[in-house]
Amino acid sequence: MRTPNSSVDSPPRRAGAGRGTAAGQEGHGVFAGWPSRQTLLVAAGFLAVYLTLSMRRHAVNLTTGYDLGIFTQIIQSYADLTAPYSSLKGPEYNTLGDHFHPILVLLAPVYKVFPSPYTLLVCQGLLVALSVIPLMEWAARARGARFSLWVGVSYGASWGLASLIFFDFHEVAFAVPLVAVSVCMLGQERWRAAVLWALPLTLVKEDLGLTVAAIGAYVAWKGPRRTGVALAVFGLAATAFAMLVALPYFNPVGQFAYWPPQTGEEAGLPAQAAGFFWPPVKWLTVLLIVAPTGFLAVRSPLLLIVLPTLAWRFASANPFYWGTGFHYSAVLMPIAFAAAVHAVATGRFPVRRLRAACAVGAAVTAVTFFTHPLHELVAPRTWVVSAQVRAGDALLARIPDGAGVASSNRLSAQLANRTTVTEVCLYARAFPPVEAPEWVIYDTADRSDPECAVGAALEAPAPKLDGYRLVESRSGIVLLRRVPGGPAPSLW
């Protein structure tokens, strides 16, 4: 007969109360021995899911130049031993002036061997799948195999990770396993390991120095104060250096590209404070961060580490940052689930109470499966090669390697690794190419492109551009080539 505080499985004997009991396993870390078979199977299963979703999307031309094409060009530049240029952003545009992500150079050797956008998708899926391992191993030591399985499945299927996998590729894929290991180490009070795993986050993206600072603040609060303060100062300094020095230096207009736009009237402090908590989509985002954990995460101070990321997102005037779309919440998922494991590892949870929390979390995960990107695995468009896709592939094949191309957004992802491709509508108004490209290919059904004059001309019943001749139009996809010897066309 189980006691009221018995675990879902028969757990290891708990350590005494007080500091040092977060893991209940003094001297053990995330990588204490080879991961269990269950952990490896769950991680491998989600790797298969992530690769299936992302690679099928690319195969049927659903990925985009913004951002898979851009990152393909970045990694290709590193593989060619040059600065990380992207013609999709602009001519000779050094992307270290857009976001500070030098860690991407680690992908260059792999890309050199396998020069394809698929390489980026595979590496991203592997990085995210690896983040399952530290969480499951800690959960198994804290409460047994069944709790570990729930953590692994709920975390791996969480909407934040799914949104990252769905929306092509981003540098934050590197941050997901780094955050997962660092925060798991924090929860187990392995301070040195937590600090060491947090440090590389400053090379992933400029804002992640704030997360490093939050980890440092936690170490200073719960562990060695000097070490924590030093890490916090380092994280803040790294973000300040990236935003005030490195990014403006490489940016073509000499400034950090994502400062809030200047307005003629500044809102008062009360209005700014109210705007931080409004509109309600921000509250929905917060709810959906903790709900998949069955709200266990709110019982751990580790959850406070999400605050810097939520703060800069909610303070921004960009509505894309507020909600659950895109990749912005991927780094928050390992923090939330590590907080849930920490709450269980350090608290006294009767089995009924823990089962109820796990049931709530499982229900939220099941619901978000149908409202967030993993449901694309069963969507017909992921698996059906339509006439439009076949037409797009045929017309893309007519463009030779090394050519200069202006493309619509989705088709440019298919061209990034073998041509010098620019966007027809997206960036060119700010950073036009030096000369008009030889080829133009445009998908009239691509709604990810904004309206522009070139797009309007190509969506007309008789597509026409000055200086170009129509090569072929098939299934709504138009291919044009520059007229040899003719006057230089001006697309923008």
148 and 96 both lie in a single domain: yes
Last residue of a domain, one of 378, 412, 446: 378
Dihedrals phi, psi of 349, to nearest 5 degrees: -110, 110
298 and 193 both lie in a single domain: yes
Query: How far is Cα 50 from Cα 32, in angstroms, rounded to an integer?
Result: 27
Tokens 């180490």 — which residue?
185
Taking only the tens place, the pLDDT of each residue in 315-331 is 998 999 999 989 999 99
Kindly write down the DSSP assignment for every residue of 120-171, as one continuous string. Answer: HHHHHHHHHHHTHHHHHHHHHHHH-HHHHHHHHHHHHT-HHHHHHHHS---T
277 and 172 both lie in a single domain: yes
- pLDDT in the model for residue 21: 40
Q: What is the mean pLDDT of residues 69-79?
A: 98
Q: What is the mean pLDDT of residues 52-58?
A: 97
Given a cut of 50, is residue 136 above it in pLDDT?
Answer: yes
Taking only the tens place, the pLDDT of each residue in 335-377 is 999 999 999 999 888 889 999 999 999 999 999 988 889 999 9
Taking only the tens place, the pLDDT of each residue in 410-419 is 999 999 999 9
353 and 425 both lie in a single domain: no
Within a domain: residue 240? yes
Last residue of a domain, one of 346, 361, 378: 378
Query: How far is Cα 62 from Cα 161, in angstroms, rounded to an integer?
Result: 18
391 and 432 both lie in a single domain: yes
Within a domain: residue 185? yes
Say which range, 218-222, 287-291, 360-364, 423-427, has the weakest mean pLDDT: 423-427
Q: Crossing angle, helix 172-187 and helix 332-346, to 10 degrees? A: 10
Of the candidates 119, 178, 137, 120, the residue with the CA atom closest to the CA atom of residue 30? 137
- Kindly calculate the radius of gyration of the chain based on its CA atoms and give it in whole angstroms: 24
392 and 286 both lie in a single domain: no
Last residue of a domain, one of 315, 344, 378: 378
pTM over cut 0.85: yes
Categorize the per-residue pLDDT at 12 as very low, low, confident or very high, splitting at 50, 70 and 90. very low
212 and 316 both lie in a single domain: yes
Q: From residue 459, how far is each of 232, 369, 428, 478 by CA, in Å? A: 53, 36, 18, 9
Within a domain: residue 19? no
- pLDDT in the model for residue 272: 65
Average pLDDT value for the chain: 89
Residue 453, domain extent:
387-482
